């Protein structure tokens, strides 16, 4: 007669209890690791727009052809973005995942999460143009995310994790290119360019304060790229637009707008930093590295700097890149992947140029932030280096 090994109910319950305890312990241990949260526009959108009714999507080929498994995740590039390289630097378990992805696991939530949405901006009139996620709603999603994390790992672990996390923010390009300088925009009737820049800075100030109210303590905030060198800007705003093979020089007045805004942003971030204890806000230079690749392409191995790899390279992006089956033979020779967004190689150059700044923010968190919360006393800014 055959014999069978039997489990008593107490043994089964004990086995389940042990498994649950191990998973909770793993989650709590992982909660102490570095996390990455990103907010902003298409330069950091990992695929949130996939779940919106908008034309601003990049979830079909040729996008993602050089990403993991050649998957078009919704990133507006052929491969990885700056935040993907930051995630590797932080030893995150995964590349940033879109917060709106319904398949997010607890592991994803505690590793790297992106709240960005292509086409958005700080100006509340910018996101409705393409029906995308406003910056203010991204902050609301982060608050919702925080509640989910508390339910999973507890309030104390959540507070510590968010406090140690790196927050990367980049937006503003659409506020100028899609909104202010558009012929349909009402903003020029309301603001001069300097006034509009000040208006955006006020909104940025509010957004940063909203992040810090949720426990964020280290922020890497990106400036604008050379707006006048984006292929779509050259096409729309330059006299060279009709000549695809011509000089297609950068639109200098747009670059001046970007430079002026970046200087104002740096001053604003510095003012905020000087008023903070136990926190670090760093300016990320987007303009400098991109400008250098355009002026000195051979230095980086680029052949093409004024049009994108997909389509004609002058206007196509998103669905137009997918509908027009024309692609350059080697994306690594191009600064731009489409008419607005950069190739993975260009993003890596931007990341490497700013890596010392990013590392300084990480080191600040490990030293100054931990001292601040353990001792429960203010920390002066001179410990940030």
- Cβ(134)–Cβ(120) under 8 Å? yes
Nearest CA to 37 among 160, 171, 138? 138
Given 42, 185, 279, 384, the catalytic residue: 42
Distance, in Å, from the CA atom of 102 to the CA atom of 283, rounded to the nearest integer, reads 32
Residue 360 bears catalytic tag:
no
Q: Which residues of 262-301 are buried (b: 16+ CB within 10 A; e: fewer)?
A: bebbeebbeebbeebebbbbbbbbbbebbbebbeebeebe
Q: Is 341 a catalytic residue?
A: yes
Q: For 366, which DSSP code?
A: I
Active site residue 11: no
Question: Could you please report the per-residue DSSP string of 99-158?
Answer: TT-TT--HHHHTTEEE---TT--SSTTSHHHHT---HHHHHHHHHHHHHHHHHHH-HHHH
Yes or no: say if 182 and 121 are a contact pair by the CB < 8 Å rule: no
- What is d(CA 87, CA 276) in angstroms, rounded to the nearest whole number? 26
- Quote the longest CA-to-CA distance of the chain: 93
Q: Which of 31, 117, 341, 384 is catalytic?
A: 341
Helices (H) and strands (E) in the chain, counts: 16, 6
Q: Of the residues 38, 84, 338, 384, which is catalytic?
A: 338
Q: What are the beta bridge partners of residue 58?
A: none
Q: For 284-342, give the DSSP string.
A: E-SHHHHHHHHH-HHHHT-SB-SS-SBTTSSS--THHHHHS--B-S-GGGBSBSSSSSB
d(CA 280, CA 217): 6
Token pair 């993003």 is found at: 347
Residue 375 parent element (H or E): helix 370-375
| Angstrom distance (rounded) from CA 181 to CA 187 | 9
3-state DSSP call for residue 37? strand
C-beta atoms surrounding 54 within 10 Å? 18
Q: Give catalytic residues, as residue numbers.
A: 42, 338, 341
């Amino acid at each position: 007669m055959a014999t069978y090994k039997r489990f008593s109910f107490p043994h089964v319950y004990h086995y389940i209890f042990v498994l649950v305890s191990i998973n909770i312990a793993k989650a709590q241990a992982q909660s102490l690791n570095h996390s990455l949260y990103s907010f902003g526009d298409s330069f950091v959108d990992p695929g949130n727009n996939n779940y919106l009714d908008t034309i601003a999507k990049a979830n079909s080929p040729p996008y993602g052809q050089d990403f993991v498994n050649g998957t078009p995740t919704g990133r507006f590039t052929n491969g990885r973005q700056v935040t993907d390289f930051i995630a590797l630097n932080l030893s995150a378990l995964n590349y940033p995942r879109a917060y709106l992805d319904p398949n997010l696991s607890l592991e994803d939530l505690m590793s790297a999460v992106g709240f960005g949405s292509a086409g958005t901006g700080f100006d509340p009139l910018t996101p409705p143009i393409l029906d995308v996620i406003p910056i203010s709603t991204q902050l609301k999603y982060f608050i919702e995310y925080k509640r989910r994390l508390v339910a999973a790992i507890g309030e104390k672990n959540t507070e510590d994790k968010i406090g140690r996390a790196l927050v990367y923010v980049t937006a503003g390009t659409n506020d100028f290119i899609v909104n202010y300088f558009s012929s349909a925009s009402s903003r020029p009737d309301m603001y001069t360019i300097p006034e509009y820049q000040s208006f955006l800075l006020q909104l940025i100030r509010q957004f940063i304060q909203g992040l810090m109210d949720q426990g964020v303590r280290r922020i890497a905030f990106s400036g604008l790229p050379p707006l006048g060198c984006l292929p779509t800007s050259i096409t729309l705003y330059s006299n060279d637009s009709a000549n695809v093979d011509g000089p297609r020089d950068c639109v200098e007045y747009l670059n001046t707008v970007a430079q002026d805004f970046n200087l104002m942003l740096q001053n604003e971030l510095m003012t905020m930093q000087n008023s903070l204890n136990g926190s670090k806000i760093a300016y990320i230079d987007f303009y400098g590295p991109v400008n250098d690749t355009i002026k000195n392409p051979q230095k980086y191995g680029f052949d093409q700097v004024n049009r994108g790899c997909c389509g004609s390279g002058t206007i196509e992006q998103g669905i137009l890149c997918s509908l027009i089956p024309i692609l350059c033979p080697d994306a690594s020779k191009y600064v731009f992947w489409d008419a607005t967004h950069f190739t993975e190689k260009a993003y890596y150059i931007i990341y490497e140029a700013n890596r010392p700044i990013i590392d300084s923010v990480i080191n600040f968190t490990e030293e100054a932030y931990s001292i601040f919360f353990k001792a429960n006393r203010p920390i002066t800014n001179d410990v940030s280096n």
